[in-house]
Amino acid sequence: MIFGIPKELPPFKDKPEYRVGLSPMGVHELLSHGAKVYIESKAGEGAGFSDEDYEKAGGIIVYTKEEAYRRADVVLKVRRPQQEEYSYIKEGQTIMGFMHLVTARKEFIQVVAEKKITLVGYEIIQREDGRLPVVIPMSEMAGKLSVQIAGRLLESPGGGRGILLSGIPGIPPAEVIILGAGTLGCNAAKAFAGIGANVYVMDISRDKLDDLACHTSDLKVTTMFATKHNIKKLVKFADVLICAVLVPGKRSPILVTKEMVKTMRNGSVIIDFSIDQGGCSETSKLSPSGDFIYKVDNVIHFCMPNATTLVARTATHTITSSIFPYLQIMIESGLTTALKENHDLNQGIYAENGEIRKDYLS
């Protein structure tokens, strides 16, 4: 089986994508199982992996994006192909990555149909118990990353409230509100509470809140049901609002209205990690200019769809370790058989030979 790893293009102008579809370690492991891997030159540069690293792993460096696509049976991406890549995709090819088709361009859907592409979305690969094996470690990383992002945005030079997340003796810490008690929300809660912030987590699932309470029993974390009343009440005093709501493959529900945002403190921060699926704040948006940090009613918004690219090396290792077991199955069983018979991969198919498989996209 032949894999291609093109250099990722930025989703927005002048906003680089530093992650890469597979690390050199992953390339080495694929070769040890009998695969061949072509890597576009400098594909791993942003994550700190040189062409020499890939060559030492046994990969073959090619010097055009087109060749990385054309030589491959399976293209390993981080994000779905950008418009200028459409012409490189060959008929009948399989492309894997975080596809988020619910927010994709119509032109891309047309390319998928016309070229009879099979698309596997990492974000919807799902085990029989409902767990998302690729999303979970990425969400864990995003949750921990949220503290770094929030701390910087709250600083005075950028128009933030100028407060320290942890506070100090005699000065209270920041108030952090987290919508969603899944993996991302749980890790964000532990990270913020771990440095001393006051943390409130809301969700509609009693089981998730119970699980979160067990994991944070030694920390200062308050759990509440995510009713409209509770969200409206807590948003008013939030210094940081983390949106961590995920409905696999589907658009995120709008939980924070424009009116709620207007009640927030000047210089407070909204970090919407749901933006890949449309965002769960009514004021969250994907900006064509790539300005993912902006203000609405003097509230700072962080709506970066590829936030883990800020820690690209860790992110690439995480993607590699999460997806490699499935790549091994594909090599050993054959692509068609693996996609048909492996439950997790089968759940991850957005489109098969150009035909959309998910009802919610039709």
For the annotated catalytic residues, the residue numbers are 100, 276
How is residue 2 written in tokens?
């032949």
